[in-house]
Each structure stands twice: as C-alpha cells, then as structure tokens.
Chains A and B, each alone.
Chain A
Amino acid sequence: MIKYIAKRLIQGIPVLLGAATLVFLIIRVAPGDPAVAMLGAYAPEEVIQAYRVRYGLDDPLWEQYLRFIGGLVKGDLGKSLITGMPVASQVINVLPYTITLTLAGLIIGLFAGVPLGIVAAVKHGRPPDTIMRFLSLTGLSVPSFYLGIVLLYFIGIRLRAFPIVGAGDFSQPLGYLKHLFLPGLTLGIVMMAYVTRITRASMLNVLSDDYIRTARSKGVTRRTLLMKHALRNALIPVVSVTSLYTIILMGSSVMIEIVFSRPGLGKLLLQAVEQRDYITLESLIVLYSVFAITINIATDIFYAWIDPSISYS
C-alpha cells in the first residue's frame, strides 16, 4: 500500500508540471498583450512599456517560464499586480475559509446523501424512493446561489437562526461554526442531491448481484447484507462522484462566498479576473490544479483501501 501511495504521488508531479505549463502558456502566449489587456489599448505607450518592464513581460518567454516554475517550486506565487502583496499570503489568509466551507458541504452531502440513497434503493418503487428522487432532482436543478439566497432569507433574516454575513473568527470556534452553517448547508444540499442519486443507482445495481442473493438466502441479516456486503462495492462509484464533485464544490464556493459575504479562494479568483491581476490568476489556477490532482490521488488511494483487489500495476 505504501509503495502504491508513493507511486501515485510521484506520478502526480509531471501532471502538476504539465498543468502549470499549460496555465503559463495560455496566459502568456494567447493572443493579446497582458500589459494591454491590463491597461487598455488606449493607455500611453510609455505607461504600457513601463508596465511590461516592471513585471518582466518583455523578458524572453523561456526566462519568464523558468522564473514562474522556479517560484512555484519555492512556494513563491508572485506578487499581486493590484495590491503588491505576495499572492501566497493572500491565499494563506483565505484558504482555511474555503477548505472549511468545502468540507462542510462535503460532510453534509455525504452523511445525508449516502443513507438517503441507501433508503431509496432499499425502498425502491415505494413512496420513500419517489420522495428521495424528487428531492434529489430538485437539489440538482436549483442553482446553488439561489438556494443560498432562499436559506439566507428564511433562516437568516426571518428566523434570525444563523448569521448570514461574514465568516466569523477562527479564534471563536462556536461563532465560526454558526457562520459556516448556512453556506455549508447550501453546498451540502446540492452535494447531497448528487450523492443520493448515485448511491441509489449504485446500490440497486449491487443489490441485484448474485452474491447478494446468495447471502440473503443463507440468512444473512439485512443490516449485514447492506452495510457489509453491498455498501462497500456500491461506494466505488460514489467515491468517484464525490472526488469529482469536491473539485466542483471548491469552484461553486465562489457564488456562496459572494451571497454570504465570506472570504475565500473563489472570491479571490473572481477578484483577480475582474482586476486583470493575471499573476494572482495564474497562481490561483495552478493552486486549483494542485487541489484537483491531490483529490484524484486521494481518491485512488481510497479506492485501493476499500477494494484491495484494485491494482494499477
């Protein structure tokens, strides 16, 4: 297992390098001058040239590339073109908010979605199944920002049950959790919709297998049949969806961060786009690539754990 983990980690390095190179090329080589994109076509030439010199845009491409990769290896994500602050420090400031929000959505989505999916599969064709399918379809259809606004209005404003503005402080964990509840619930409901559907489908598939019928006929209890025999196999597609959706969840967090006025990586990314801060944008895209690759590696490791028969040799 350790060899497998090490192998996956090493395999991740060229993937990351490839992703970083692609990001670099897209931004630098794509038609259009970044300086002109930033300042506008009407800016005086001396201002544009000064901008190019200040940010090394007039250096040879290979030099810019080596500087970029070298910086990444050292953990230097460059300095924001707008604030002048190191991008790394901006990321460190907001990353915990995005991670906790994503985790909250993930936990709610999984802990509610998997059991509901199991119930829907077990009660297949009966009212509980119909209700679950209807609710999960609704959860998939409603945009997350709209759901967020609805929850914000009814739970936050009308009931005043949970705060709706800001993220609270990590130094006050209870307050922080209160601030996290509604945004986390928003993402969790959407995640739950996906997980319920895939769990249900996967469970139905597994429950019709021969070995399940054999176990049932041998008198295995329902609980053991579901939790020990069926679920473990049914979870494999659920893990795939979860890992894919975690990446999407991180991206979706930008709308939730705006609705609930929370700081976060998504908001920083959106800001970088709006401010044409291409250094911050470049670094954040690479960071998202790191997350995606890490989550994929973690998923592969998890696969190997839940089903030792899986091998990639």
Chain B
Amino acid sequence: MKTYFRILACLVLAFLSLSGVQSASAEKGNVLVLALDARDLQTLDPHMSVGFMDRYVVDMIYNGLLRCQPGDMKKIEPDLAKSYEISTDGKTWTFHLRKGVYFHPFRGQPNGHEMTSEDVVFSLKRAQNKETCAGAGSMQFYEVTAIDKYTVQINMTKIVPEPDRHFINYPPGSGFIVSKRAVKTLGGEFKNQPVGTGPFMFEKYRPGEKLTLKAHTKYFRGTPKLGGIEVRYMPDVNSRIFGLESGELHVVEGVREEVWVKRAEKVKNAVVDVIGPGEPMYIFFNISKPPLDDIRIRQAIAYGINRDTLVKFLGSSVAKSTCSPIPPFLSSGMTCEEVAKLGLDYAYNPEKAKSLLQEAGKQKGLEVLMFVSEHAAYLNPMTNLKEQLRNIGVDVKFNVVDHATWHKMIRSDASQIVPYSPLRPGPDVYFTQFYHSSSTVVSGKSPITNFSHYKGIDEKIERARSSVKRENTIMNWREAQIQILKDAVSLPLYIQDFVWARSKSVDWGHPLKWTLALYPQVTENTTIK
C-alpha cells in the first residue's frame, strides 16, 4: 500500500510539474481569442446572417462596395469600390472596383480568384432574392449591370433615401460581395465555409465550440497584423469572465448591464469598452390576431410598462429611454420630450392600463405568449418587463430558446409579442423591414421582420422614398412614426450600448466612436501587444 501511494504521489507531482497556464497570447501566438455569448453560429452566409453572433464574424470575412469607417458609423467610405459617381438625377450610380482584390481560397480555387464586376452583379442580385437574402425586401430599388470587368452600374428603379447605406457591408443583405464561383461550387456548404475578400478567412469550424479564421495575406488593405482569430462560442457569462481573468481569452462579449460593467472593470489587466450608438429595443405586437388586434389592449400594455424601471435595471451608463420608432441618433428620430409633446409617449400609467383592459373586457386579465432569446440582452430585461405587466393583470408566458432558434421562431410568426433590438443604417431600412406590409413575416411578399403584420403606413414609406427633397423625406418619416405610435403596433423602450471587455494587450487599431457592426470590429490593424 505504501508503494502504491508513493507511485501515486510521483504521478501527481509529475502532472503538477506540467501545470502552469500560458496566457492566450503565449499559447496561441498572434491569434486573437474572442468569446461570444452564443451557443453556436447559425450561418456565415452574409446575405442570411441575422443573428448578432454571425454578424460579428461576417464583418471580419467580407467587404462591401462601401463601408462605414471602422468604429465610426457616420462616415461612409469606399471599400471594394475605389470610387463612385452619381448622375445628376441621382438615378445612376457607377462604381469603379479596385483591381487586384482577391477572394479567399476555396475548393477548386486554392489561390482564390480576383473579384470582378461579375461577382458584384451576382451579389447584388442575390441580395434582392428573398430565397437567398433575409433582407431582400429592402433591396428592391435597383437594377445592376456590369459595364466592364471593373465597373458596375446601378440604376435606381425607385428613389430611396440614403441609398449609399444599402451598399455597405451590413447584414442582412445590403452590399456584401460574395464570390459567384464559391457560391456555385460550395452550394449548401457556403453557409459554414464562407469565402469573402476580408482581412480574415475561414480555417476550421468545430460546431458548438469554436471557429478559427486566419489572416488573408492577400488582403487589399494590407496583410493583417494578427495571425488569425479564434471565435469561441461560450454562452455562460461567468466562463467568459473567468477566461478573461485567467488570460485564456483576449476579448469577451459582455452583458449590457451596468452591474456587469462594474464587475468586469475589476478584472486585472482588462478594459471594458462601452460603445454607442447602441441598439434600440422595441416590442412588436402581432395585431393580426386576438387579443392584440384590439388597440386598447396594446395601449394598455404600453401604459403598463415603465421605461425608467427598465433603464434603472440595466443601468443608466449603458441604457437610456427611447420613445420613437426611429432612434433619435438617425434622421427624423424624435426624442422622448418631442414624443411626449405629441401625447404619444405612453408614459407609465398603470391605472390607465387597467381601465383600458376593462374597456376591452379583460378586467380579469389576459395571457400573451412571447418567445424570448436566452441571450442576456433579451432575457434579463424581458423578465423585468414581464413582472411589470403582471401588475396590470397581463400574464406574459415565456418560451425561452437559444438565440438562433429564437430568430427562426419569431420569423415563423410564433410569438404574439416580439422583443427585438435592431440597429439599422437608416430610417428607410427600419420602415421597410419592420413596418411595410411586404415585409410581413410568413405572409409578406418579401418577408423580413414586420412582426406586427402592419399595413398602415405603406403609402407614407413609399412617399418618403420618392421625395426628391430631403426635408419632405424627413417629414414623411415623422408622419409615419406618429402613425405607428397612434396605432400602437410597437413600443420603443430603450437604447442599450454594446459592452465588450478585452485584455489591455489588445489594441483595436481604430478609435471607437459609434459602431454599426455591434462590436468594436477586428480589422487588419488590430493587434495584440
């Protein structure tokens, strides 16, 4: 027995001598290890990626004709196009493509191939097809042709406001440029084997665990300073923070709550980035079926929700109330004060809520179903909202599912109330995707995210699009918002900033002002010291 324990002790000592954790930098070399609050990817096809966990990654893999300057969504600059001209009537846009831009290697093309107008035309047409693009409904305003190998012409069949924002690399749809040959060769595999022109290319994928990207040495803006990126799927928030603390992770997706920010700030050698402009959170009512087809019930729910309580719950350093369908940081967006002057802010009034329910014959209360994503940005505040509504007799039944499944469920019209937090590049995209009848989920001509089944402002949306004068466009957008609020088809709640924590050794390579990409963006200039 003594001999046994001696052998055991030697084994334990031998193992302990192998211990010692290297930091992610030491272990992985020049590879950025980034942990996301997600179980797995859904698709890396940029035209179909609606989940945030996919949107971060497609941003690293793909480019568009244009792009928002990294870290600053207000500045649009050429990306795959080196320049463009707009005709005097605004209807013809001519893009001159960069030469020598290479797609990543893929099966049958071990060295990749040069991007040409053929790929751009293919991509922009693909973005108009509802079978191949989740946002196709908002891309039905142009015809695209190749003039020559490096020139593409887009003819607007309809005038849309801020058309340049439709050609940036922003999911879903918009201006992502994919390889025609790759899509045809890979077929269904394209969603898990992306081929883009971006600074990082797909290397390998282990489902539910991690995705590895490596540097694209032929990237047209220069070889990335990072050797690669390892994206880890880690839905447990404690595991992510522990990984940052132990040095095994460089960057982690945070929880968009002040409590978490304060906790993360205490981690040694870590920095917390809280970035705007943030995502507005709305709840959308399905008005096509009882009981929410009754405006009194929708208004009752609106009056039963205290925005200030939600903001306090999240923390005023990361969230603020919002009252208009278009967030105030975009054109035509209104502040809460402006909406209150119109009497449409639905300021918290539980007595009024109960009286409306009584009028609607629901004095005994009612039940509504809500599919909720398990992601903290949804589950935590919606749990708070659920408890608020219980006080006025509305019992919200939750179906909590993972984020990818939640996206499928709400697009299958399975939820009576849909909480949704979208950041879109401009008001026309918001109106088209969330309020135009053609975008109605399941039954619309080009279903996107009109969860409400709303038809009340199609004309106003079209009029805003066709207005030549900018002030008329903005006026029509304002009117559309007022109508949305009057009809109580959706309720704006708050705007929540993005929260990421990183090791001090990580330098993003660009200033962080406002990001449309929902995360601080990893580019060719990002480094690990």
Report if A72 contacts B (CB, 8 A): no
Contacting pair B1 A40 (CB below 8 A): no
Docked Cα-Cα span, A164 to B404, in Å, equals 26
User: Are B234 and A44 in touch, CB under 8 angstroms?
Assistant: no
Our pick among B4, B39, B242 for the contact of A165 (Cβ within 8 Å) is B242
- Kindly state the separation between the CA atoms of A94 and B206 in the bound complex, as whole angstroms: 9
Contact mask for chain A residues 138-174; partner B; CB cutoff 8 A; 1 contact, 0 none:
0000000000010011001100111111110000001
* Interface-side segment among B17-25, B120-128, B269-277, B480-488: B17-25
- 16 pairs of residues in contact across A and B, judged by CB atoms under 8 Å: A39-B412, A40-B409, A47-B412, A47-B413, A112-B8, A152-B242, A157-B245, A160-B246, A163-B248, A165-B232, A165-B234, A165-B243, A258-B239, A259-B236, A263-B206, A274-B400
Partner of B15, one of A83, A94, A160, A181: A181
User: Is B239 within 8 A of A165, CB to CB?
Assistant: yes
Looking across the interface, which residue of chain B has its beta carbon closest to that of A50?
Answer: B412
B369: contacting residue among A40, A112, A177, CB under 8 A: A40
**Which residues of A have CB within 8 Å of B415?**
40, 42
A166–B232 contact, CB under 8 A? yes
Chain A 256-270 near chain B by CB (<8 Å), digits 1 or 0 = 001111010001100
What range describes how many residues of B lie at the interface?
Answer: 35 or more
Report whether A163 and B21 are in contact in the complex, using a CB–CB cutoff of 8 Å: yes
Judging by beta carbons under 8 Å apart, are A276 and B401 in contact? yes
Name B's A-contacting residues (CB within 8 A): 1, 4-5, 8, 15-16, 18-21, 27, 35, 39-40, 206-210, 232, 234, 236, 238-239, 242-243, 245-249, 286, 289, 369, 371, 374, 399-402, 404-405, 408-409, 412-416, 442-443
Query: Cβ of B405: which chain A residues have Cβ within 8 Å of it?
Result: 82, 274-276
> Which residues from A are CB-within-8-Å of B234?
165, 261
Cβ contact within 8 Å between A115 and B208? no
A165-B246, A166-B232 known; A119 and B1 CB under 8 Å? yes
Task: Output the least CB separation between A81 and chain B (Å).
Answer: 9
Chain B residue with minimal CB distance to A112? Answer: B8
Whether A271 sits at the interface, judged by CB under 8 Å, is: yes
Q: Does A294 contact B (CB under 8 A)?
A: no
Determine the residue in chain B with the shortest Cβ distance to A261. Answer: B239
Residue interface bits A207-235, CB-to-B below 8 A is 1, else 0: 00000000000000001001000000000
Inter-chain contacts of A40 with B (CB < 8 A) = 369, 371, 399, 409, 414-415
Whether, in the assembled complex, A79 has its beta carbon less than 8 Å from a beta carbon of chain B, the answer is: no
Interface flag for A131 (CB, 8 Å):
no
Distance in Å from the Cβ of B148 to the closest Cβ of chain A? 40
User: How many angstroms between the C-alpha atoms of A145 and B40 in the bound complex?
Assistant: 23
Verify B1–A223 contact, CB threshold 8 A.
yes
Q: Is the CB of B374 within 8 A of A164?
A: no
Query: Closest CB-CB distance, B19 to chain A, in whole Å?
Result: 4
Interface of A is mostly: helix
Select B20's contact among A85, A161, A165, beta carbons within 8 Å: A161
Residue of A85, A93, A175 near B206 (CB, 8 A) is A93
Residues of B within 8 A of A83 (CB): 40, 207
* A44 and B209 contact, CB distance less than 8 A: no
User: Is A41 at the interface (CB under 8 A from chain B)?
Assistant: yes
Most buried by A among B207, B234, B404: B207
Mask of A26-60 contacts with B, CB within 8 angstroms, 1/0: 00000000000001111110110000000000000
Given contacts A40-B415, A165-B232, contact A157 B246 (CB under 8 A): yes
Known A82-B405, A157-B245, A160-B246; contact A259-B413, beta-carbon cutoff 8 A: no
CA distance A177 to B415 in the complex (A): 45
- B267 CB to nearest chain A CB (Å): 10
How near does chain A come to B338, taking the closest CB pair, in angstroms? 35
Q: Which residue of A lies closest to B244 (CB)?
A: A165
B208 with A268: CB separation less than 8 A: yes
Contact: B413 with A44, CB < 8 Å?
Answer: yes
Chain B hits for A261, CB < 8 A: 232, 234, 236, 239, 243
- B292 smallest CB distance to A (angstroms): 10
- Taking a contact as CB atoms under 8 Å apart, the answer to whether B369 and A42 are in contact is yes
Q: How large is the interface on A (under 10, 10 to 19, 20 to 34, 35 or more residues)?
A: 35 or more
| Residue in chain B with minimal CB distance to A155 | B19
Q: Are B414 and A274 in contact (CB under 8 A)?
A: no
Complex Cα spacing A174 to B409, Å: 43
Residue of A153, A156, A175 with highest tally of chain B CB at under 10 A: A156
Residue A90, interface by CB 8 Å: yes
A35–chain B nearest beta-carbon distance, Å: 11
In the docked arrangement, what's the CA distance between A277 and B369, Å? Answer: 20
Are B246 and A271 in contact (CB-based, < 8 A)? Answer: no
Decide yes or no whether A118 CB sits under 8 A from chain B.
yes
Contact A156 B242, beta carbon cutoff 8 Å? yes
Rounded to whole angstroms, the CA-CA distance of A275 and B409 in the bound complex is 11
Shortest Cβ distance from A47 into chain B, in angstroms? 5
**In whole Å, how far is A181's beta carbon from the nearest beta carbon of chain B?**
7
| Contact yes or no, A42 B243, CB < 8 A | no
The 4 closest A-B pairs by CB, nearest first: A165-B243, A43-B414, A40-B414, A161-B19
Q: Are B401 and A156 in contact (CB under 8 A)?
A: no
Assess the A39–B409 pair: CB atoms within 8 A. Answer: yes
Given the interface pairs A94-B208, A274-B374, A274-B402, the reply to whether A178 lies near B248 with Cβ below 8 Å is no
Docked pose: A47 CA to B35 CA in angstroms: 35
A134 cross-chain contacts in B, Cβ below 8 A: none
Residues of B with C-beta under 8 A to A161 = 16, 19-21
Give every chain B residue within 8 A of A90 (Cβ-Cβ). Answer: 207-208
B443 nearest in chain A by CB position = A44
Q: Contacts A83-B40, A164-B248, A259-B239 hold; do A42 and B21 have CB atoms under 8 A apart?
A: no
Determine the chain B residues whose CB is within 8 A of the CB of A85 once the complex forms: 207
Nearest CB on B from A107, distance (A)? 11
Whether A111 contacts B243 in the complex (CB less than 8 A), given A39-B412, A83-B207, comes out as no
Q: Is there an interface contact between A267 and B8, defined as CB atoms closer than 8 Å?
A: no
The answer to whether A174 touches B1, judged by C-beta atoms less than 8 angstroms apart, is no
Residues of B within 8 A of A259 (CB): 236, 239
Contact string against B for A residues 72-102, beta-carbon threshold 8 Å, 1 for contact and 0 otherwise: 0000000000110100001001100000000
B374 CB contacts on chain A under 8 angstroms: 274
Query: 20 additional contacts, CB 8 Å, given A40-B369, A42-B416, A157-B245?
Result: A40-B409, A42-B414, A85-B207, A90-B208, A94-B208, A160-B21, A160-B246, A161-B19, A165-B232, A165-B246, A165-B249, A166-B248, A260-B239, A261-B232, A261-B234, A261-B236, A267-B208, A274-B401, A275-B402, A276-B405
Within the complex, the shortest CB–CB distance from A98 to chain B, in Å, comes to: 13
B-chain residues with CB within 8 Å of residue A271 when the two chains form the complex: 39, 208, 402
Min CB gap B382→A, angstroms: 16
Cβ-defined contact, A41 with B21, below 8 A: no
B4 pairs with A157, CB closer than 8 A: no
Question: Which residues of the other chain, A, contact B238 by a CB distance below 8 angstroms?
Answer: 149
CB distance from B206 to the nearest CB of A (A): 6
What residue in chain B is nearest A80 (Cβ atoms)? Answer: B207
How far is A199 from B466 in the complex, measured between Cα atoms in Å? 83
User: What is the CA–CA distance of A178 and B19 in the complex, to the nearest angstrom?
Assistant: 7
Q: Given A261-B236, A263-B208, A263-B209, does the pair A174, B18 have CB atoms closer than 8 Å?
A: yes
Instruction: Determine the chain B residues whose CB is within 8 A of the CB of A166 once the complex forms.
Output: 209-210, 232, 248
Closest Cβ–Cβ distance, residue A69 to chain B (whole Å): 26
